[in-house]
Structure 1
């Protein structure tokens, strides 16, 4: 899973003065990944009790880097003039891991 240092490097931040903000973005990115995919994500080991759980991987890490950088650079609410709601690539990276619930 990505670290605050990874986010700082990606956003080209040279010091730790915004680490508290970056931690909020990282936690929100983790929540977004979980919500989008419908899965729990783990750093080291998936518990036997979680049959759909997965380990963080490079694609998920990249999706979280895209989200955190987007939120760092776009701190205002989205408007018609600023329609960059989310970077396109994040969904592309996460879609293969999304649980698709069939019609019952």
Structure 2
């Protein structure tokens, strides 16, 4: 959904010392944002349709990733890069972008 190169650009990293760390940020940011959304999110319409075809019981709230979700993931990755320890909350800018797509538990 986002790449290490995109995170590198978002963080304005112009050296290679962090290249091994960036994939961890990518995975953590994606996981955090998807957990907040509380719904299945797919990379493309084709992926969504394939998932529905393979599993007709798939949550009806499933969706394709949007630009604002990708941006929230990049913001979260940059936040995790800058704050490597101690903060487990998503940044406010990310939650603002994600909120409109969030499936509330029980709804």
TM-score range, shorter chain: 0.7 to 0.9
Alpha-carbon RMSD across the aligned residues, in angstroms, is 2.0
Q: Could you say what secondary structure the match of 1:19 adopts?
A: coil
For normalisation by structure 1, the TM-score amounts to: 0.80
Q: Secondary structure at the match of 2:20?
A: helix
- Are the counterparts in 1 of residues 10 and 74 from structure 2 also a CA contact under 8 Å? yes
- Structure 1: how far apart are the matches of 2:40 and 2:84? 27
Written as runs of structure 1 = structure 2, the 5 A alignment for 1:19-98 is 19-44=19-44, 45-46=47-48, 47-48=51-52, 49=55, 50=58, 51-78=60-87, 85-98=89-102
- Whose helix proportion is higher, 1 or 2? 2
> How many residue pairs end up in the alignment?
98
Unaligned runs of 5+ in 2: none
